[in-house]
Amino acid sequence: MTGIRNIVILTGAGVSAESGIDTFRDGGGLWEQHRVEDVTTPEAFVRDPDLVQRFYDMRRAAIQTREPNAAHHALARLDAEWPKEDGRGLLIVTQNVDDLHERAGANRVLHMHGEHLKAWCTACDRRSPWRGPLLDRPPCPACGAAALRPDVVWFGEMPYRMDEIHEALREADLFVSIGTSGAVYPAAGFVRTARDLGARTLELNLEPSQGSRWFHEARHGPATELVPAWVKEVLAAR
């Protein structure tokens, strides 16, 4: 992998699976007999705000009891050791809304689907760090309105910071997808964008994803084995 300067990494739920955080499409994707897709939409929030708030209150509490795994720590090591100067870059674009990349020590992380540990005020539009429940309509820290929602991108809403992501894909020499099914766009399309713009593409996943055919190389197995081995390899070839 010589000549690599800019790396873009896309992570999905599979990178947090071995930390005990359920993925979306393994194991049926159900919560209290609701399909996850039925509680993660703006329409669901209008129809039954308490149901949606309870779903996210449960997930927000759950992630605070989990720890980063060897895959998160390996990516944090890469973030620390991969050169930042003279236009060499690294960006970890995550679809995950947990904070395990950050708790492992990674800094160059972009949450395209938002974050469990933030609340978004629908009255004043401010986002605030948030660890507790939202079900009991607490006041917004900025404006006081009882108008806080999870700062998570729902189906049908625009993912965050897409311009920055596309800029990084344009500069990428290497695109690595870790622990994602390739089922949800726009993230599922990043591999083709990167490949069309000349990047090498690598998939690290438990099993072939829906986009496996677009990758130059694919390695299948648990992230806690594949990711540390790959990070060691890419740092050795610097």
Residue bearing tokens 């929030």: 45
* Interaction between residue 209 and ligand APR (CB under 6 A): yes
Tell me the C-alpha distance between 234 and 135, whole Å: 45
What CA–CA distance (Å, rounded) separates 42 from 78?
A: 36
Q: Applying CB under 6 A, which part among 18-26, 44-52, 78-86, 189-197 lies near ligand APR?
A: 18-26
Rounded (10°) CA dihedral 127, 129, 130, 134: -10
Assigned token pair, 213? 């055919």
| 220 assigned to active site | no
Q: Residue 105: which region, alpha, beta or left (left: phi > 0; alpha: psi -120 to 50)?
A: left
141 scored as a contact of ligand APR (CB under 6 A): no
Catalytic residue of the set 113, 116, 166, 220: 113
Pick from 6, 19, 23, 53: which binds ligand APR (CB under 6 A)?
23
* Residue 184 interacting with ligand APR (CB under 6 A): yes
Stretch that binds ligand APR, among 20-28, 49-57, 165-173, 193-201 (CB under 6 A): 20-28
Nearer to ligand APR, 15 or 119 (CB): 15
Sheet holding 114-121, edge to edge: 127-129, 114-121, 148-152
**CB-nearer residue toward ligand APR: 6 or 23:** 23
> Which residues sit at the interface with ligand APR, rule CB under 6 A?
12-14, 17-18, 23-26, 95, 113, 179-181, 183-184, 205-207, 209, 222-223
